[in-house]
Amino acid sequence: MGGRAVKSEREILHINTDDFFASALRLRDATLRGKAVVVALPSSRGAVVSASYEARSEGVKRGMAVSTARRLARRAVFVPPDWDFFGKVSSEVFGVVRRYSPVVEQTSLDEGYIDYTGCDRLFGHVLDAGRRIKEDVAAETGLALSLGVASNKLVSHVASKRAKREHLVDVYPGYEREFLSTVPIDRFPLVDDRRASMLRELGIRFVGDILLFPEELLATCFGPWGRRLHAGALGEDATPVRVRPPRGKSLEASETLEPDRVSRTLLESALYRVSMRIGEGLRNERLLAALLELKLRYSDGAVVRGSAGLDAPASDDYAVFEPLLGVLMRIFTRRVRVRELVARVVRTEPAPVQFELFDAADGGSKRQGRLMSVLDGLRKRFPPGVAPAFGRAIRG
């Protein structure tokens, strides 16, 4: 694309490694090139972790049962996930990216943000730097990047999705609202599957349709998220690119189910207990969770994973539980007993002070903070089953 007519105050790039899992596997095994590749556990009752573009063109989707994927893509090559290898390749990609800015936020193995603001003095115009990043990553890792450039994180994220297949999309400052208006509502980063269905029932099929509703009406119906949704449709997002701190103590909690469970009610109960331990760990470390991951291990050994971000970083138990519950509903697709649940905090932010950990828009935030502090103290003093627990956490 041509040079920008106007330079914005912020210059944010969103990077997306094209077809990351299949492309990484092809680096190791050249015989996979040109073939439909499905990353999944060997069990026919397992779930698809990732599908290459070729496999997706045949109808294979992430989270689909492997047996279904095999019927749809009969010639596909099914490969088990190698998380250590994927992590190594991801580190190589972001190692190149970090040469161009000290402010890089990695949000997953294959995606992240770069705050390029002010870096043009060292590396030139943002679009030229973007092209060089793509070239350097391709030359040093063998992987292709799609890039979105915009004045904020939200718009750059949407732009990189539009740039799929090694392209670069630049959204000029002042054109954010127009660019977003035709984006389908289920492709908007602020809207998950559940909310997309709800918004479609209201006649909102594209991001531009959101602006047919007054901000106050959206806030009345949906609370703080309604205001954020309205601002997002205008192309506004003041969220900073955050450098992830060095990985310290792992915030992870798990529960082994005895006996194995298949009841959603009992699984939710176990998940809430896990969320309580994650929440307590966050508060002890003075951290807020921004991105969570849930892993289910079935009784037949199959493992499925899913992740979810929080609308606003938080550390109270229910704020941790709610997105994890959404993941559970999405990935628990088999009528097979579950052996273990493992929840992990993938990305955190530092918490400024004890009672500012919660959303300031919530009038009861300080009371909630005090309640969590009291519960933490009681849980340390008394054993499980004696310390207070909410209804969801009571064992079945």
Task: Cite the active site residues.
Answer: 111
Phi/psi at 156 (5° precision):
-65, -35
- Are the C-beta atoms of 251 and 344 separated by less than 8 Å? yes
Cβ neighbors of 261 (< 8 A, separation 6 or more) are 267, 270, 337, 338
Q: What tokens does 160 get?
A: 């990189």
Rounded Cα distance, 147 and 267, in Å: 39
The 8-class DSSP code of residue 32 comes to: G
Q: Which CB contacts under 8 angstroms, 24+ apart, belong to 254-261?
A: 254/340, 254/341, 254/342, 254/343, 255/340, 255/341, 256/339, 256/340, 257/337, 257/338, 257/339, 257/340, 257/341, 259/337, 260/299, 260/337, 260/338, 260/339, 261/337, 261/338
Q: Which of 197, 189, 177 is nearest to 225 (CA)?
A: 189
Q: What tokens does 176 get?
A: 């954010």
Rounded Cα distance, 225 and 215, in Å: 11
- Are the C-beta atoms of 5 and 172 separated by less than 8 Å? yes
Rounded Cα distance, 343 and 55, in Å: 29
Q: Which of 320, 361, 364, 367 is nearest to 224 (CA)?
A: 361
Sheet holding 104-106, edge to edge: 104-106, 111-115, 12-17, 145-150, 168-170
Q: Within the chain, what is the greatest distance between any pair of CA atoms?
A: 66
Rounded Cα distance, 258 and 90, in Å: 36
- Are the C-beta atoms of 312 and 239 separated by less than 8 Å? no
- Are the C-beta atoms of 156 and 163 separated by less than 8 Å? no
